[in-house]
Structure 1
Amino acid sequence: MTKLIYGGQAVPEGVMFQSKTHMATAIRRTNGDIDYFDMPRPEKPFLNKLKKIPLVRGNVAILEASVYGMKHMDFAADRYDRDPREDYKIADEKSSQNTAKVVLSTVIIGILTFFIGKFILTLIPVFVAEVFSGVISGKFGQVALETLIKLIILLGYIYILSLTPMVKRLFQYHGAEHKVINCFEQNRPLTVENVQSESRLHYRCGSSFILFTVLVGFVLYMFVPVDPLYVRVINRILLIPVVLGLSFEVLQLTNRLREVPMFKFLGLPGLWLQYLTTKQPHNDQVEVAIHSFNHLLGSEKK
């Protein structure tokens, strides 16, 4: 029997977990209580067919995660710093707006934010590398410089973000999410003590995916022209879905091979990045993550 695979993401003051059929979020309120939000994963036959196509399924997974993830982020953002006695204001605030437009704009903003970020991370290094083309020339040199600049931007951006109190707490919940999944996959009871003893790193993490887009891009760009500049810019833009699709496949492959000694190293770069995107959680944060995961399991049984 194949063991079910669970994933998740951190949200403000909480964690969202998901399976193939359900999603659940738990957050810590200002009074110490834990609130929940759960929803079944909508059945989309057409998307399910696309998820079976290599390269395509990665892009579909990203779009789906953006759409559903924003709903859980919205739930947490509305409540994490609000006195529970004032929750009635949420409904009033929502009712004063066109709900359909709000939901649609939230989804669009989430998707656009991801792709705009990807465009920036893809194109800025191209122009910077071009500035140094007189010093570092040739396809290999330019692509290598482009990749190095991309890594510097990525790592620098994440590091600076991690210094802010809010993002630091978000990264702690990210660590708690990984610890819970690791504990579950080790078939250990989900107690705070057991979960805290687990690693805060995980092979399937989206952070690893982001890093793989940089590394996969380096290889892929070796097969397309870098001159003139406008051709380079065009092929970088057109190849974004290909890079995303290939990176998703690499992420899945490294997860499948993580127990094979001679291939285990393939996933190490992604794990190293998680030292930046996850932080050691406190016990109360781990408790929230456990509640979220148990709530998901309960939802699946209903």
Structure 2
Amino acid sequence: MHVESGQPSLICYQTNRVEPAMEPGSPQDKPGRSGDSVRREEFYNDLERQETHCCGYILVFFAVLLVLVTFPLSIFFCLKLVREYERAVIFRLGRVRNGAKGPGVFWVLPCADNIKIVDIRTVSFAVPPQEVLTKDSVTIMVDAVVFYRVFNPTVAVVKVDNASQATQMLAQTTLRNMLGTKSLTQILVEREEMAEQMSKILYEATRDWGIRVERVEIKDVKLPQSLQRAMAAEAEASRDARAKVIAAEGEMNASRSLKEAALIMSETPAALQLRYLQTLSHISAEKNSTIVFPVPMDIISMLAPK
């Protein structure tokens, strides 16, 4: 809080110290108590020790008097309802009163108290498609989704003007900076690793704002049309090459089998004759024709090598 000096004034109070933004489960600073609870207690103790200036007492007195004069109509302006998934940060004369409150019904003074409602549920936002120049000088469009929640409403209200907008802008710049250090192959293959890396970067950056980034997902990577055609042609050529290799291996295996069959038939004349008859039977079955043997089979068998 800014305090002007240089002229005598009856207004004298301490400067507010922002509540430390620590998450539940942080390392313990004292035996049996977490560092988060210790620092929160110190923050609230500082708030209680702050001196209230004379004008503050006068304004609070008139606010209470206004409530009493306009009772019971003033009840509708003094009672505030905070739902289970919300927390209320109450400012009295510009100062935070004992941190966030809720859920439930709370009493506020008109003209003296100002209340800010903060949603502590997990929310998400889509990072608009970012044009990124990769490490290997390829221009791509990448978009993502970020899931986060507010774990310290007081800090999210006091320390940041618009926590949600600040997180979105930080996510855009982080996505561009991170992808600029990666090659196109890494971006296409290591999508999950990059999402986890981006989540850690945002987690560390937004922790002091009272925000916890829970998850980041990279939705889509759009390539230029010319690059898509080149990659498709490369993939097609690779598939054709693999098909030719498989066909060549099949022909080689078939040739080996035919060679072995020929050796067996040359050693057994009866097998060659049976194969000859089988071929003739197959031809006659397909075209329904009569086959004439110009040379008797006995002579053929005599000419066969023994």
Asked if these proteins are the same fold (TM beyond 0.5), I'd say: no
TM-score scaled by length of structure 2: 0.24
Higher helix share: 1
TM-score scaled by length of structure 1: 0.25
Higher Rg of the two aligned structures: 2
Higher strand share: 2
